[in-house]
Chains A and B, each alone.
Chain A
């Protein structure tokens, strides 16, 4: 068996709130394999966002170890973390976080700006990713000219452009209506079938059912790890 994509052992995160030390994560052990579609569930304050930040290299664990793609994250500098985010992780956010007054193409090109990819390849790669999410005909639209679903798809194209090993999505359907949410989930499932590892943070049980594995957090601990061999297909709900 190949090594796990993500290996978390006894990861803890402590915040200092004045005099008090608050444990956001109280020692989590976790392994995620390449090609999995994982949903991280939990109510607010459960530690799921903290887990997400640690997996996304946006934050460093206070204790314990997290290895991504065989690289131990604990001792990396800010610059090294930035490079890992750039090369191996694609982010999708609830509020899309697109640059306003900037074309879809330029928004998707953004991660390439900070990569080693030669400039001559940028435009072609960004176009390719936009085509993959079905926005080949919206290259030069600004976010304000796109619907919520289209904006989220631009964000997904942006997450894909550096060919990361995994996509981290933080409540990606939170700002969308049910129908567009389904569209976005169908896109995730399609990407997962093509081999992308997808980690999804959500508090909606409906959304979690599209994943092949469900991790539930409560009070800073992982309390359930369920496999779902037959996930619902988001594309089924689209026809109606």
Chain B
């Protein structure tokens, strides 16, 4: 009841100096918008990282060969890891879900009069387990196809679109380099990876097919692969698995105790997470800077409220003469300050939503995810600033003596 009157009084007072009220609010508007946008950008980046880690297929290691070290100088030849390494890792390292060998080459694929340049990868079915990558239509490779190096292909969604468009891909024959393969499966779309590359632009053949027909057989290491992708079960200790793999591979390569590793194990999810953490720290810092601007906005509010109290001293005197108690005056000015801040906060929220919306949909501004908690928090915080910075001017107003206030010129 009386609150409505108080709100009406407050908005009337703020309307009288519309420009001044707006400029005062601007500090709060910018502060609130900045805090929300910064936090939203942080949350958006975090979400992206989570998606990237997920698209990798959970907790994944890349195992590659590295340069052979001889007496401090690096030899030119690269030690290759091979399919047997993959099999051993999968069998002997506890916590490992699967270890998938991977061989690749670049090449052209042709269907009818269409051609497309892509990555041609040799794998076996374990790869789909490691990547957690389901087949949309068709089937995986059969054991027989893998063992014999059959001319069958599973294609990514991008290639399907480029070569087949709306027509059926399954059962069609496409030309890869200089031989024909039959499409037996199409993978579900996976989107971009952490570096922004299209993961669906890929053609999979049985690893033996790639080795026999494209890359050729390395005579010293006939089962060599480019890398092994290893996935761990959820909740496994990744550091432990890494240590165990290192131990196993050193043993297999007969590396002496003080010798350098001739392979590299990279924990990819960790790398992404670390990068994300750095970004997070940066974002948190920005959010703090933004909250400082909120406080600065609050000081602006206090300043203008002090001016307002001085300007309206006679009004305060009159209100006191007709019966306003000090508490009534205090409430009146406090509500004015809260309305100023609350309104500024609300406008700030709207601007933040607009900014993030534009960023997400049109690439203007910055994309992100707005958490409703953050919105409530910043609105609450701006109302708190209204009370905190409005209290002193309001108290000053309420402590005026009626006669002094009435006579004030």
A is bound by B = yes
Enumerate chain A interface residues (CB-CB to B < 8 A): 53, 56, 58-59, 78-79, 82-83, 85-87, 91, 93, 97, 99-102, 110-111, 113-115, 119, 158, 162
Chain B residue contacts of A99, Cβ below 8 A: 315, 318
CB within 8 A of B323: which of A59, A87, A101, A102?
A: A87
CA distance A86 to B328 in the complex (A): 13
- The 10 A-B pairs of least Cβ separation, nearest first, read A86-B323, A114-B323, A111-B322, A82-B325, A97-B318, A58-B402, A58-B403, A79-B325, A91-B321, A114-B324
- B319 contacts A101, C-beta separation under 8 Å: no
- B406 contacts A58, C-beta separation under 8 Å: yes
- B12 contacts A113, C-beta separation under 8 Å: no
- A86 contacts B406, C-beta separation under 8 Å: no
CA distance A100 to B9 in the complex (A): 12
- A97 contacts B325, C-beta separation under 8 Å: no
- B321 contacts A79, C-beta separation under 8 Å: no
- What are 21 of the A-B contact pairs (CB < 8 Å)? A53-B403, A56-B321, A58-B321, A58-B402, A58-B406, A59-B401, A59-B402, A79-B325, A79-B326, A82-B325, A83-B323, A85-B320, A85-B321, A85-B402, A93-B318, A93-B406, A100-B16, A101-B16, A113-B324, A114-B323, A119-B2
The answer to the question of B1 belonging to the interface, with a C-beta cut-off of 8 Å to chain A, is yes
The answer to the question of B314 belonging to the interface, with a C-beta cut-off of 8 Å to chain A, is yes
CA distance A194 to B335 in the complex (A): 41
Chain B residue contacts of A91, Cβ below 8 A: 321-322
Chain B 285-321 near chain A by CB (<8 Å), digits 1 or 0? 0000000000000000000000000000011011111
Expressed in whole angstroms, the minimum distance between the Cβ of B72 and any Cβ of chain A is: 87
Chain A residue contacts of B403, Cβ below 8 A: 53, 58-59
The residue of chain A having its C-beta at the shortest distance from the C-beta of B399 within the complex is A78
Chain B residue contacts of A87, Cβ below 8 A: 323
- B406 contacts A111, C-beta separation under 8 Å: no
> Could you count the A-B residue pairs with CB atoms below 8 Å apart for me: how many are there?
64
The residue of chain B having its C-beta at the shortest distance from the C-beta of A52 within the complex is B403
CA distance A65 to B1 in the complex (A): 39
Chain A residue contacts of B318, Cβ below 8 A: 93, 97, 99, 110
The residue of chain A having its C-beta at the shortest distance from the C-beta of B323 within the complex is A86
Expressed in whole angstroms, the minimum distance between the Cβ of A91 and any Cβ of chain B is: 5
Chain A residue contacts of B2, Cβ below 8 A: 113, 119
The residue of chain B having its C-beta at the shortest distance from the C-beta of A158 within the complex is B322
- A85 contacts B406, C-beta separation under 8 Å: no
Chain A residue contacts of B328, Cβ below 8 A: 113-114
The answer to the question of B5 belonging to the interface, with a C-beta cut-off of 8 Å to chain A, is yes
Chain B residue contacts of A79, Cβ below 8 A: 325-327
The residue of chain A having its C-beta at the shortest distance from the C-beta of B15 within the complex is A101
- B325 contacts A101, C-beta separation under 8 Å: no
- B320 contacts A82, C-beta separation under 8 Å: yes
With A58-B403, A78-B326, A102-B12 already in contact, the answer to whether A110 and B319 are too (CB < 8 A) is: yes
With A78-B325, A78-B326, A114-B322 already in contact, the answer to whether A97 and B5 are too (CB < 8 A) is: no
CA distance A162 to B323 in the complex (A): 10
CA distance A115 to B324 in the complex (A): 9
Chain A residue contacts of B1, Cβ below 8 A: 119
**What 12 new A-B contacts, CB under 8 Å, besides A58-B321, A99-B315, A111-B323?**
A59-B402, A78-B325, A79-B325, A82-B325, A86-B322, A91-B322, A93-B318, A97-B321, A100-B16, A101-B12, A114-B324, A119-B2
CA distance A79 to B325 in the complex (A): 5
Chain A residue contacts of B315, Cβ below 8 A: 99
The residue of chain B having its C-beta at the shortest distance from the C-beta of A97 within the complex is B318
Chain A residue contacts of B324, Cβ below 8 A: 82, 113-114
With A85-B321, A119-B1 already in contact, the answer to whether A97 and B406 are too (CB < 8 A) is: yes
Chain A residue contacts of B326, Cβ below 8 A: 78-79, 82
Most A CB contacts (10 A, CB to CB) among B1, B12, B324, B401 go to B324
Give the contacts of B217-236 with A (CB-CB under 8 A): none
CA distance A111 to B319 in the complex (A): 8
Most A CB contacts (10 A, CB to CB) among B2, B323, B326 go to B323
- B314 contacts A97, C-beta separation under 8 Å: yes
Most A CB contacts (10 A, CB to CB) among B314, B321, B403 go to B321
CA distance A101 to B325 in the complex (A): 23
Chain B residue contacts of A78, Cβ below 8 A: 325-326
The residue of chain B having its C-beta at the shortest distance from the C-beta of A95 within the complex is B314
Expressed in whole angstroms, the minimum distance between the Cβ of A89 and any Cβ of chain B is: 8
CA distance A56 to B403 in the complex (A): 10
CA distance A208 to B381 in the complex (A): 59
CB within 8 A of A113: which of B5, B16, B314, B327?
A: B5
Expressed in whole angstroms, the minimum distance between the Cβ of B320 and any Cβ of chain A is: 7
Chain A residue contacts of B317, Cβ below 8 A: 97
Most B CB contacts (10 A, CB to CB) among A59, A82, A83 go to A82
Give the contacts of B1-17 with A (CB-CB under 8 A): 1-2, 5, 12, 16
- A115 contacts B325, C-beta separation under 8 Å: no
Chain B residue contacts of A110, Cβ below 8 A: 318-319, 322
Expressed in whole angstroms, the minimum distance between the Cβ of A123 and any Cβ of chain B is: 12
The residue of chain B having its C-beta at the shortest distance from the C-beta of A56 within the complex is B321
- B322 contacts A85, C-beta separation under 8 Å: yes
Expressed in whole angstroms, the minimum distance between the Cβ of A69 and any Cβ of chain B is: 15
The residue of chain B having its C-beta at the shortest distance from the C-beta of A85 within the complex is B323
Expressed in whole angstroms, the minimum distance between the Cβ of B180 and any Cβ of chain A is: 87
Chain B 206-217 near chain A by CB (<8 Å), digits 1 or 0? 000000000000
CA distance A119 to B167 in the complex (A): 76
CA distance A85 to B317 in the complex (A): 12
